A and B are shown apart, each in its own frame.
Chain A
Amino acid sequence: MTKAKAAIIGSGNIGMDLMYKVLKNSHLEMSLLAGLSNDSPRLARARAMGIPTSDRGIEAIVENPDCCDIVFDATTAKAHAEHAKVLKKLGKKAIDLTPAGVGAWVVPAFNLEENLDRDNINLISCGGQAVIPIIGAIQKVVPVEYAEAVAANSSKSVGPGTRANIDEYTQHTREGMMKVGGVKSAKAVIVINPADPPIVMHNTIFCVTEKLDEELAREITASIEDMLTIIQSYVPGYRLTAPPQFAFDRRQVTTMIEVEGAGDYLPDYAGNLDIITQAAVHVAAEMAKRA
């Protein structure tokens, strides 16, 4: 079996966490980590591990297009808007972890199969990856009129890219809930928690359904459990913190989840990195298997 060659642009928290996951994946070869500063201790760390690095960002791929088949973009939405055009011209598969939203919006547990042959896949946001499958699981049983998601991440796990543009996160997550999750209206909130030791990534998803009774509640619980099995196949640390809660008078389903990371780059609490980097590597591996 030949491995697909994978390059990563962006050496922030997400890029570094991705690198460790690519290294562990049997379908992928870690062929390049491209940042923007050669002084970066992160690039030095990669070099010490024998991984080719560059401080020229996307230019490194333009100059040496054979270095990779698949490109993970872990830079910023603004940068990816440009990168997308370049990668398309080079015929590379792009897996976009920024909120650019240029390509197909994908949550692997939910809509990967029909999007595998697309040249650009957007993974929405960490919160999107965590909450959209739950919305989807409920939608399978009964239409959801409104969904609201609160993501709490530890301060240490939220990098400068997200911090500089927090609205991009909430708006893109909200759009993902509507576009991929299929709900009519939605709200996304992010809370950054300063506690030390850091809290584990936590999400609550409130769904107001068209109707709700005991029978539907049982079906919804079963559907969420099925969805959990699928997500856990690529994000092992994803779990419910309590069974789904039902408020029949308000037709409201409350689902609370927590994502414990694999501790590859940042410690276990940073499940917000894992949920999107695991999704990215899962998509790339499926692409590699198909090629």
Chain B
Amino acid sequence: MERKGDKITILDATCRDGMHAVAHQFTPEQVGRIAAALEKAGPDYMEVSHGDGLGGSSITYGRGAASDGRWLAAARRELKNTRLSSMLLPGIGTMDDLRLAADEGVEMVRITVHCTEADITAQHIALTRELSMKPIGVLMMTHMVGPEKLLEQGRILADNGAEAVYLMDSAGHLLPDGVRARVSLLAQKLPIEVGFHAHANLDMHIANSIAALEEGASYLDGTLKGLGAGAGNAPIEVLAAVMTMYGYESNLDLYAIEDAADDVLRPMLGANLPNIDKVALTIGYAGVYSSFSLHAKRAAANYGVDARDIMMECGRRKVVGGQEDIIIEVAAQLAEQKKSEGERL
């Protein structure tokens, strides 16, 4: 459905996608402080969970500093006008996690799948609704398929009961034309609203977000300081300013969201501030899942190989989010290869 009017619904994902950038180590106390700052700044939703969604804490994706329940409770206490939301990836989280989210006062859940897998969401969307939470469908890695395929998948999400469909550029690989083609078709043809979630790996995040709005998107994601996987997401404070310049409206207060970014979040980050470093740039270039970044840097250090070689190989194998385990495999194989080449010389 094309957006009616110029009012944009804004979701802040600092305490979900941002978790990737801090290896899921935000404490409940930090989540509470971020929530309090966001409540003053006015995003419509604040998304909270492990970076890989509810139930993501694991060896594969990284252990969280706290449970989803404790993070959600910490945010809940501070929120009044901003609504608490969360994310679930079927296959990683389960329906028990949805029940936990409902108990913690979550009002909206994004049921999230890779771009061709919409038909694994039926039970999770139905349960989200049954628990009186608003279900939204999300398609990830949307650069991997074209607009027609995404439309087909968006229809499945709508049929399953999703109230909106988000397209995520999980690899930060799309250029503005690619965003336009995808968002415009879905906005024109789907019976429900469309959202967009950008990554900054090729520095296209703001341009892509605006392109999505110009093509009829109703929802937009951002994070404070752009904190997120890979080179991060669209900085919500920058979105607030640029959206206004383009004539769009939102509930964001520019000064308050800048304060949240610089005075509340920034001091928590130390050296963790996202930037387009060589690994993130390779992720965007090769079309790999952004949250692989930290995992690849760690494996590169452990195995004495270049993180960019790991990412290029993951891109060649068309690995998707959730397959963080492959990074270790590729690193081990590259190290073995390097060793045998060394022996030959």
Binding site for B on A (CB under 8 A): 148, 150, 152, 155, 160, 163-167, 170-171, 187, 189-195, 199, 202, 204, 206, 208, 241-243, 245, 252, 254, 256
Contact = CB atoms under 8 A, between A and B. Distances in A.
B320 A171 contact: no
Interface string B313-333: 000011111111110110011
A195 B320 contact: yes
B328 A195 contact: no
A167 B317 contact: no
B58 A167 contact: no
Contacts, number: 99
A155 B116 contact: yes
A164 B58 CA distance: 25
Contact of B117 (A164, A167, A187, A194): A194
Given A152-B322, A191-B320, A193-B320, A245 B117 contact: no
A242 B320 contact: no
29 contacts: A148-B59, A152-B322, A155-B116, A160-B119, A163-B120, A164-B119, A166-B91, A166-B120, A189-B58, A189-B60, A189-B322, A190-B91, A191-B320, A192-B114, A192-B120, A193-B318, A193-B323, A194-B115, A194-B145, A195-B320, A199-B317, A204-B326, A206-B60, A241-B333, A242-B332, A243-B332, A245-B328, A254-B325, A256-B328
A204 B327 CA distance: 11
B251 to A, nearest CB: 35
Contacts of B113: 192
B92 interface: yes
B122 A164 contact: yes
Given A163-B120, A194-B144, A256-B325, A148 B320 contact: no
A65 to B, nearest CB: 36
A155 B117 contact: yes
Contacts of B336: 242
A134 to B, nearest CB: 13
A273 to B, nearest CB: 18
A166 B332 CA distance: 31
A49 to B, nearest CB: 30
B81 interface: no
- For the complex of A and B, list the 4 residue pairs with the smallest distance between their C-beta atoms, beginning with the closest: A195-B318, A204-B325, A191-B322, A194-B116
B244 interface: no
Contacts of A243: 332
Contacts of A166: 90-91, 120, 123
A69 B236 CA distance: 65
B181 interface: no
A267 B332 CA distance: 28
Interface of B: 58-60, 90-92, 94-95, 113-117, 119-120, 122-123, 141, 144-145, 317-326, 328-329, 332-333, 336
A199 B317 CA distance: 8
Given A167-B94, A245-B332, A150 B325 contact: yes
Which of A166, A190, A206, A256 has the most B CB atoms < 10 Å from its CB?
Answer: A166
Contacts of A163: 117, 119-120
A47 B113 CA distance: 38
A226 to B, nearest CB: 21
B94 A171 contact: yes
Contacts of A242: 329, 332-333, 336
Contacts of B94: 167, 170-171
Contacts of A208: 59
B98 to A, nearest CB: 10
A150 B322 contact: yes
A150 B317 CA distance: 17
Contacts of B92: 189, 191
A254 B117 contact: no
Nearest to A148: B59
A247 B26 CA distance: 25
Nearest to A205: B325
B55 to A, nearest CB: 8
A190 to B, nearest CB: 4
Given A150-B323, A193-B323, 15 more contacts: A148-B60, A163-B119, A163-B120, A164-B122, A165-B123, A187-B58, A189-B58, A191-B91, A191-B323, A192-B91, A192-B113, A194-B115, A204-B60, A204-B325, A241-B333
A204 B120 contact: no
A193 B59 contact: no
A174 B102 CA distance: 24
A107 B67 CA distance: 33
Nearest to B127: A167
Contacts of B326: 152, 202, 204
Contact of B329 (A167, A195, A256): A256
A245 B328 CA distance: 9
